[in-house]
Structure 1
Amino acid sequence: MRPGGRIFLGDIRDLRHRRTFAAAVALHDADDTSGLADLRTAVERQVMLENELLLSPDFLAALPAEVPGITAVDIGLKRAVHHNELSSFRYDAVLHTDPARATDDLPSTQLRWGRDLTDPGRLADHLDDAQGRTLRIVRVPDARVAAPLAAATALDNGSDPEAVLRRLRAPLPARVPDPEDFHRAAEKLGLVAALTPTPGEPGEYDVELRPAGTAPAGAPLGRYRAPAEAAALRLWAHAGEPSRSDEHAQLVARVRAHLTERHPDYMVPAFFTVLDRLPLTANGKVDQRALPDPGLRSTEQGRAPRSPQEEVLCRLFADVLGQASVTIDDDFFALGGHSLLAARLITRVRAALGTELAVRALFETPTVAGLAERLGVSDGSDAFDVMLPLRRGGDRAPLFCLHPAGGISWVYSGLLRHLDPRRPVYGIQAPGLTERGTTPDTIAALAADYAHRIRQIQPDGPYHLLGWSLGGLLAHAVAHTLESEGERVATVALLDAYPDIERPGDDSAQQEAAMTRGIYEVLLTEAGVDPARAAGRDPERSEVVALLKEGGTALAQLMDEDRVEAFTDVFVHCSRMMFDRPLGAVRSDLIFFAATRGGLDGAPPAERWQRYTRGELTIHPLPCGHAEMVAPEHIARIAAVLTEHLDGRP
């Protein structure tokens, strides 16, 4: 930095308001059943798990004495019209390296708020007294934090929850001005106002007024001087410990991993709470009644996701918040989210859905349902359309994902988190899902239909195609169709899809019934419901639908009896195409992902695909069965290979 330069630090969370902010969050989440102990536990948990760096103004005020080259520090409350987390508990600062800034203070005339002045609109009455000096109003109560601070104090003093909530919701007295009132009043008088925290008083600030021409560079932030008792402490006494939250998270992760390795899932606790010590009774035993609630949880009343995009958003919410799952109605901040996590979530949403989204949107609509509406993603009404846009945004050529025998392409939504956000992703689904009996009878006819639909979205190549199981055969057939029309296909990715499978001799009604049972098993598994509950018999569709509703996936919630019947018809119809021969060799290379733990019955070796390409065949083994190819851990590995292949391609 050049001599005389300045460093601006913005959006600094004030350490002095850590408990006040935690109390505000806990009270916002409270309901009629919340007791005093519950609220205090929630506050302690919020404080303990805080993972954002919080700094007291005293930390910055001490820097000139601690860091060579820093000569002065200016601090100011954030300017904001609205009172929320982005404004109420934060401040900005400027670090100066100009030696002259250490001694450029003007003499000041000081007024005490509430005694000498009670209305920012009466500032003009005191300008004659200042006569060119700085006018300083001290100990002004901060309207942005007054109510949360009063509520937090009442909570610490043991007031009942109703009284605490009354403090939080009570209207502010007229003598508690909005900080912006001083800026407006100063501008009318040709002055510059700088609002700095009052030393030693977390709920108050001082106002410094100067004639506009005498305001130093870096205004409207003002000089802050730490109280003597704060200046006597070591520098890091004025800073939070965000690593403590990480240590707790790492400990929980290690404990969970340890238990998962040694016990079945149902024996692994869903929630963990880290305590500094266990509460004990007078007899030295664990006081179970004094143990805190395990933590913030998703509401059971919320709705399940209604589309693949909402499923992606729910997974992102849960991952960032450390929750097992969330509903589309869960409030991000009610589940422990804060500004740092909000930024992390928005970054992941942008990458997954390939769309621009500001952090402010999450503060305004902090639910999956709200963000989905803001983003314009599907609410489930088009969930079974032939062309399913999993991600619309991006300037690269799209990746088209062809459906397996069930006809649904939702399974590919897991790719979104791992692929370049600049590349759109479309799922192609069987027409028979929405219009019964419209799915063509052969792979050749279906490929011709899909190639036409693809060209309506992307008129010219290069094309990128992917498919799992039957979808792989369809991807190859579509590639052959597009190439026969003179187009270039750059990617054909086959997920455990095999050519030349021998058709079984028994094609009876008994086989079709067995296939239907298999379909139900697939649906229940996808919904997170144990398929054993319908095993060994032929359940009615109504029973299958009832079981599906117990699952939390979007697909399960959209399934009614008619939809289950349509899905069954498509599955049986498309399964017969598994035995169709490929249309011929393609010019494109083939990328093959092979399940090494149980593939399709009667499938030839993966090398058989070499007959059907004039390019190169590369085989990537995955340690899974055929049905597990699109599980999260395997889809991530598939996406990594695809990313390397697609890198640098249009």
Structure 2
Amino acid sequence: MDRFYLLDASFCPSVNQGRTPICVSSPERAVASQMTAFTAALQACTGQSFHRYGALHDFSVREYRTFWRCFLQWSEGLAWSGSPEPVCVGDDCEHARFFPNLLLNYADNLLGLEVAGPDAPALTACHADGRRERLTRGELRERVARAAHALSQLGLREGDRVVAVMRNDAEAIVAALAVTALGATLSTAAAEMSVETLLDRFAPLAPRLLLAHTAQRAFDTGIPLADNVAGLAAALPSLQGIIQLDDGALPATVSQPVHALADLIGRGDAAQFSFQRFAFNHPLFIMFSSGTTGKPKCIVHGAGGSLLEHLKEHRLHSDLRPGDRMYFHTTCAWMMWNWQLSALASGVEIVTYDGPIATVDALWRLVAQERVTVFGTSPAYLKMCEDAGLVPGQQFDLGALRAMMSTGSVLFDAQFEWVRDHVKALPLQSISGGTDILGCFVLGNPNLPVYAGEAQCKSLALDVQAWEHGAPTSGIGELVCANPFPSRPLGFYGDVDGQGFHKAYFSANAGVWTHGDRIEFPPEGTARLHGRSDGVLNVRGVNVGPGEIYRVLRDIPQIREAMVVEQRAQTAPPDRTHAQRYEQRMVLLLVLQHGVALTGALAAHVRRELARRASPTHVPDRILAVPELPATHNGKLSEAAARNAVNGLPVGNASALRNPDCLDAIRNHPALNLAARELPAPGTSREQLERHLQALWERLFDFAPIGRDDNFFDLGGHSLLAARLLADVHQSTGRTIPLATLLFAPTIAGLAAAIDEAASPRTSPNLVPVRSGTGSPLFLVHGASGSVMECWGMVNALRTSRPVYGLQARGLDGEQPTQRRVEDMAASYIEQIRSLQPRGPYALAGYSFGGLVVYEMAQQLTRAGEQVELLCLLDTYVCEHFLPWRTWMRYCWNYPGWQLRKLRAVPAAQRVRYLKYALRRAAEGVGMRRGGITCKPDAFTESLPPALRQVRETMVRAMTTYRPRPYHASPVLYLRAAVRQQQRGDPLSLWRRVALGGLTIAEVPCSHFDLVLEPNLQAVAAILDEGLAGA
């Protein structure tokens, strides 16, 4: 045992790689754990040696029959009869059946007196009014036996279906165990659910009995509970009776016989009742899917599979044992209620609470007062505590608390750290599985370290993998289980041919269970969840997991909750194809902290953080502040409901939500209808003009409100948006505002002043100030867009004290003719910079195409006797015809393969048209090298305003005709994007040949177009700063 622990808990590759665990189990705890004890027993049984958990897990999935047989026989206090052989009939996950010759009784095993004696505590029921009810195992077993005997006298028997509307208290547990003791099948729901919601779940089952709380409590809202129960009973024609769990009065309209649980317990005879054993796979629970995309699915779970899986998770993975007191914050509608109930089989005392969270610290107070040893909660509650500034470890006596669990959604890294720093240093187990399997795929392990943001391990005997495109992947993928497991549901109730069950779990990946979560498995064997796969967004061809966004947003203190969904907005006339008419947009819904408003500054901060810490693809198109997000009765957020609301579609089953009214606030949000809003007139006053500009900005950015001092570029503005904005300004005011105006007047207030005061020139100057400073300036030349606007963020990330000036192309406003040769641009720009700095040394930088211009400027300045202190090319490509011969031949060799792969990706019906397009573009390329221009722009260029289109076409033509000549002066700093542009020749071979004064290469791990975007612009700015410092 010692050897098993030492190799498993202290040897961890991740530590050697710089990863520090958030918590490490003590050697004493690991040696004494039930995981260690079972491992030793399995080694003795099989003759195998399991020095690490990975070896144990590999064996358990490879030899799952041996594992389950050994676990069944090892589990102390487990009462069963019959034969454990065969362990499993069948080898495919969808149809395999476990222990067909084995008999057991679920309730009997939960209440057995061998694992813990009759005087051991079993249940503490805590009420909102402060009352406590405590039962020993003997007392609880006695009550259950009495109730079961009385129910049998009412005719309840094996195979009957019983439904329940219950609060989380002692009566709920007694009634549930009494029903299952008789072999009947139980389905539970929470007391706050509406009649419609309950009927969606219960009506298909044709239940015989209804268990229900009926008394009204001070914290209840909405329709009285008794009226709900009466309405439910009236709509269930199969119902033969109601078991009332408290002393509330039901309306006289109830026609079924009503029996009080207390009376049944009083007249039942425990001595006359015996716990009959039933087939291992007899139906125990019918659970329900959330129902947000249609009627809830009725998921049938077998008694033996549920019990055996829960025993494994409780005893081995959670190390639960007699003496533990476990409280899990749950309702009777959530599978964690069933999961906690099964902990009785391990001798655990369970703690329940039937009230609301009246104050944020309510649950911590309960944990402290009841000396809870294992506390189960959710990321949402931990976030609530963090936002409230709680320090539970100082505010309460948590000396008894030894472990915590969290489930329901992704638990982020910072929440692990918050628990460690504000609660105590203990194992925080992120567990994940669900209602579908009534258990966990990934969870805790008493012998393994805890890493922030990760579940400790895969569940034993479950071959959990990450799949992508129908095969295992080493990165993020679909969570699948590739082997049979006992807690797989028996099927869906009413799904006679099994087609619904197959479609739900086995149609996506043949032969394996597909769960619907996104997951990855780091090398250490841990697991990191990335949210639901049905919430994955496709943003301009790139899959974006919402979990990647939420992980960033949870660190922004102004945000309480967030949800990101996809909107399909019509952007073209009906005569276009469906794909052409609709554009996919990412919409971010935010619930902000009390007193916080969604300002332009906050929206800009959100966008910057997402771009910096995730990628520009993760930046939403729209950000909306909403009062609340739709949630199911289990407390899980419903992305499907929000998605429908954002798209103006009806929600399939609003009764599945506990707060369906919030959907109207989302559906009718003004920011979703900005394009259709009537613009206020520019008017005659500055105030009216600002209101008009605000409306223009809000329509342009698809975001409201935008403040008068919010920065155009911080909001995500670029040259194309600027051109559209100023075109709208011209149409509404008659004023022609140069594009460069936004560089020095980037706010609504500044732009209004520029318009009102007629202070700006009619055409954009070539040389524009971008950032003030002291000393000799850095001159930055535009890319193919003709504007330096795309470099705004990079410039503002520079630490140098120097001023920065941008050089913009002629013709941006359509008022000047464009320049068609790089040499002409260089000469013109030199004239401009000399008007500001007559003599060198000069510092020059150019992004993309601009690198060619600054290279030629350096050539001309050097020939004129001037000195260039810095010449920086930001990932500048050259026309392939000017590459050295070997590079050019390699490019020509690869080019047909590139084109063939592109052609194969084109739908067959469009290939002829694509070939014509490719041939035309090739012919135009030859023409441009001879001095011509393109006769028809590509799709992107065609979408630009005419002036920008002309500039872009001119830049493309200038690039195809410019051959860089040898440069003998100062070294060239070449900043290279590590991800090469597709179908482009590598320019470095040319720059190495012509930069005779030396070439310094710095690389940034991104693509060409992401070089000047977050998070890469910080690295680019640092390299430029270093170059300027050494100039």
Q: Which has the higher contact order (CA 8 A, sep 6+)?
A: 1
Do they superpose with TM above 0.5?
no
Greater helix content: 1
The TM tier, using the shorter chain, reads 0.3 to 0.5
- Asked which structure has the greater CA Rg, the reply is 2
The structure with more strand, counted as a fraction of residues: 2
TM-score computed with the length of structure 1 as normaliser: 0.40
